[in-house]
Structures are given as C-alpha cells and as structure tokens.
A = this chain, B = another copy of it.
Amino acid sequence: MVQSTEERVRSAALTLFAERGYHGTGIRHLADAAGLSSASLYHYMGTKEELLVAIMRSSLDGLLEAADELSATGDPGERLVALVQLHVRTHATAPEQTRVVDDEVNALSAEARAEVVALRDRYEGRWQEVLEEGVARGDFQVGSVAVVRRALLEMCSGVARWWTPAGELDLDALAAEYAALALRLVGASERHADGR
C-alpha cells in the first residue's frame, strides 16, 4: 500500500497520541515517527491541535456515516444489534482512533472541543433514538434510557482497550458476544444476536 506523506504524518500522530496521549507527544516525536524534520511536518499539518482535531473528526465522521446507514432499516432490536456491532468492530479494529477520540477530548481548546463534542453527541443521539423507539414499542425494558445508553456505550468502547486479534475471540465472535450483552442490558430477548 502506497502512503502519501500526509498519511504517514496522520498515522504517526494517531499511534503516538493513542500510546502517549496528546500532551505526552511532542512535535519531535511526531517528526521522528513520520521520518521528517519537525519543520517539514508543518507542510502537512496545521498546528498540533488541528492534527488532533482532524483525527477525531475523521474517526467520528466515519462512525456517524456508518451509523446513519444502519439506522435506516429494521426494528429497534435489529438496529441496536447493528449499532453495537458497528461500534465494537470499529473499536476493535481501529483502537487507536477510538481511544484518541475517547481520551483526548479534554486536550482540545474550547472551540475545537465544541465541534468534536457536537459530532459525538450526534452519534450518541442515534443510540438514544434506537433505545427510545425500542422502549416505546415495548421491545426494550429499561429503567432509564439515558443511563442505559451511557452504560452500553462505555461497555462497547472498552474493547478498544483490550481486544486483540490474537486473543480468545475473533472479531465476529466479539461482535456477537457484545450484541448479546447489549440485548440483555436493554431487556430484550436475544433473537437478534446472530447479526452480521
């Protein structure tokens, strides 16, 4: 796979931000990892913060777009399963992106944070909608939709911190397992858990 210099910078930043955090990563780290001088780096990026924002934006954009496709069809149970599987697969296969998004929001300045948080809120809104519809139709039984939404998302995001392809579960098994857990959490029968 050929990679442009800009992509090399982006992916170096991704890895380093995920490993050491935004504040723990220096411009010279980035330059070294990208095989450039620190001055050259600035040909391919704006400020360090803009680089972070770009990473977060593209990660959230991708998730949001995929979520929009999924949310179009099916009953709430099917759509919840699809959302969970999307989320879990994404966090399992792109753990660096998702960890950066999840962990470095506080490193952003106010304006940048507002933008990123807005994206994240839109994405979480999809989950909220599915849950509300499931509850409204009597498919789900939950105490508080907002609480369950948060519990679900935290639970699923966690896979970015531990899953590896070399482990006990392969990607499909992981996704199926989490879909089943999600259905239990919302008090639905498990008939949807064989998704994807």
Report the Cα distance A154→B91, complex, angstroms.
14
Which of A57-65, A114-122, A131-139, A178-186 is near enough to bind chain B?
A178-186
When chains A and B are docked, how far (Å) is the Cα of A133 from the Cα of B136? 37
Q: Distance in Å from the Cβ of A132 to the closest Cβ of chain B?
A: 15
Q: How far is the CA of A20 from the CA of B109 in the complex (A)?
A: 11
Contact indicator A158/B151 (Cβ below 8 Å): yes
Q: A158 to B169, Cβ gap below 8 A?
A: no
Given A143-B177, A158-B150: A24 in contact with B184 (beta carbons within 8 A): no
Cβ-defined contact, A143 with B187, below 8 A: no
Number of copies of this chain in the oligomer?
A: 4
Bound CA–CA A126/B106 (angstroms): 32
- A150 to B24 Cα, complex, angstroms: 26
Residue A112 lies at the interface, judged by CB distance under 8 Å to chain B: no
Tell whether A180 pairs with B23 under 8 Å between CB atoms, given A150-B158, A185-B185: no
Residues in chain B near residue A185, CB distance under 8 A: 181, 184-185
Of the candidates B22, B106, B148, B178, the one whose C-beta lies within 8 Å of that of A181 is B148
Q: Does A85 contact B (CB under 8 A)?
A: no
Closest chain B CB from A138 CB (angstroms)? 17
Query: Does any Cβ of B come within 8 Å of A107's Cβ?
Result: yes
Kindly name the residue among A20, A158, A169, A177 whose own CB sees the greatest number of chain B CB atoms within 10 A: A158
Please indicate the chain B residues that have their CB under 8 angstroms from the CB of A174 in the complex: 147
CB of A147 within 8 A of CB of B177, answer yes
Q: Top 5 A-B pairs ranked by shortest CB distance?
A: A154-B158, A23-B23, A155-B155, A23-B24, A184-B184
